[in-house]
A and B are shown apart, each in its own frame.
Chain A
Amino acid sequence: MRNNYLVLSLILAPVLVTMGCSSSTNSTPPDRPGLAALQVECNSSDLADDTDGPFIDPGMSNFDCSGIRTVYNGIRKAEISAQENSNFQKLFGGTNSESVVGFMNQRVHYIVPGTTNFAVRHTDGRREIMPWTREERIVALNAGMAMWLTIKRNAAQFPGMTFTLGRTPIDSTAPTSGVILLGRRFADFPLVDRMETMVHEARHSDCASVNDDLCGHPHSECPSDHELRGIHACDGRGIGPYFTGAVYSKTVGTTCANCSEKEKQIALASSLDSLNRVVNRDRIERGIEQGWVIDRVPGSSPKKHRDDLRTVHSSRKREMGR
């Protein structure tokens, strides 16, 4: 009997060794869970001390609120590292995620759902001037910039125009207020793409002078020799939101140590797509040299916007009974 066990173990030992070797040589390395594993819920204690992050309008559903918190968590925890003196460092002021969070906190202060009615008060009417923001197709929009642009374009026709959120007026004298609208479809996009979207929208809050064409970095129609010709989906001024998003996504796609392969491929695709929309790339370096990277309307500070929007947030919570 003892001999039988000996024989059996002699047979099994090499077979098991062989199986072990085979599994180590033929198994497919699994894709890691990546940033998607960083999902957080609204009111999560993980973000309880996030005092610099944006206010989320009480009209936002818990599902969408969690989606936004997850995006911020992804931006904060993505293990990225850019080169010193790179465009990333020039744009974000550092070489890692912390600098991106700082960039966001300077430019994004209040997030509203796609169903938001930006009512307009003006001297002789009750007209809703931005109904298109509630269209299903809108995934993300820097509403602060859109409100400012709307006022700028319609001021002569409707003097004294003021936007309100609920019953509370919003400062729309510059595109820097940092009010971002996220449509219901925002949640349908992959996390890494949503992160890039938020960085893109944040860049729309930048403005050196309200009289400057670059203020708010509005998009332009793609030129006739572009594959997206005729579509209002390009940046003609070098270092606008598409360039900023491209720089961020490239860094995620090329350096993120805790991203999955899917997330890195999506980041690279987002980066290339955004870069493809920067039609005057020769202006990039000139823009950086001329200091267009970090620009701010004189007298308009992130702290002031944040303080104003804290009041709006309290008022909205009372209105919504939350």
Chain B
Amino acid sequence: MMKRFAIALVLVLIGLIVAIAVNRSDDATEAHNSGDTEIVSNSRESEDYAATSFAAADSGAGTMSASTLAPALAPTLAQAAQSRPEEATDVASALSPQEERAWRASLPTLESIRRQTAEDTHRTPRAILNAAEKFADLIVSAQTSKVAAREAFRKFQICAEDKDAQWGTTLKALCLANAKAIAQQNPGEFDEEVRTLERNLDPRTAEITQAFDRL
């Protein structure tokens, strides 16, 4: 009887220690986020995320440049900074070389976009729409952890950089916007990478991004 009671007591203690540790981690994350105007309570409805973050964007409270495209993604990313496990890794190594190759291969080439446009001149090529749907999955997954945010940022970074000029302007501009949106939700995490991206952007993508902001 005493032996069983001792085991039970030990289990209770372990349970309590774990519970306290988790709560502390939450508190720390909350405190970390308290300076971000776009972070809203988890209990709010998504409409409230939109209202809060757009209000912040409109009033210039965003931490990044005044792009209208990046703040647009803030509502669904707002939850991201709520609680994330701390894992030390940098953006460049967020994806393995194999993962990078697979990601590059999964993006539609300019050639395929041209082909689809020629077939149906009026419409946005299906390849671009499919890629956009895939980007949405990344945006949602970026909310789950800092590691996922880095992976998503790295993918958008690769796409926006387009070192081999493989993808069209539309896709690059969208990837840049998504990368900036993730950076905006992770203050201080990707600032240098975003600056480099914007500095090295090809002129056509830079021009479309500016035109979009003025639209």
Contact = CB atoms under 8 A, between A and B. Distances in A.
Interface stretch (A6-14, A51-59, A105-113, A122-130): A6-14
B83 interface: yes
Given A219-B121, A266-B129, A272 B208 contact: yes
Contacts of A22: 22
A246 B215 contact: yes
Contact of B208 (A32, A87, A232, A275): A275
Interface stretch (A134-142, A152-160, A294-302): A134-142
A44 interface: no
A35 interface: no
B15 A275 contact: no
A1 interface: no
A24 B50 CA distance: 21
A182 to B, nearest CB: 12
A247 B215 contact: yes
A17 interface: yes
A253 interface: yes
Contact of B139 (A8, A219, A261, A273): A261
Contacts of A212: none
B110 to A, nearest CB: 6
Interface residues of B, number: 65
Contact of B215 (A264, A269, A271): A271
A266 B72 contact: no
A51 to B, nearest CB: 29
A117 interface: no
A28 B141 contact: yes
Contacts of B71: 254
Contacts of B208: 272, 275-276
B26 interface: yes
Nearest to B18: A18
Interface string A14-47: 1101100110111111111000000000000000
Contacts of A274: 124
A296 to B, nearest CB: 23
A281 interface: yes
Interface stretch (B33-41, B165-173, B183-191): B165-173
Contact of A255 (B42, B50, B144, B212): B50
A165 interface: no
Contacts of A21: 19, 22-23, 26
Interface of B: 5, 8, 11-12, 15-16, 18-19, 22-23, 25-26, 42, 46-47, 50-51, 54, 68-69, 71-73, 76, 79, 82-83, 110, 114, 117-126, 128-129, 131-133, 135-137, 139-141, 143-145, 168-171, 173-174, 177, 204, 208, 211-212, 215
27 contacts: A8-B8, A18-B18, A25-B25, A28-B140, A28-B144, A29-B140, A29-B143, A30-B140, A31-B136, A137-B119, A139-B122, A140-B122, A185-B120, A190-B129, A233-B117, A246-B215, A253-B72, A254-B72, A255-B54, A257-B51, A265-B139, A269-B132, A269-B171, A269-B174, A272-B170, A275-B208, A276-B173
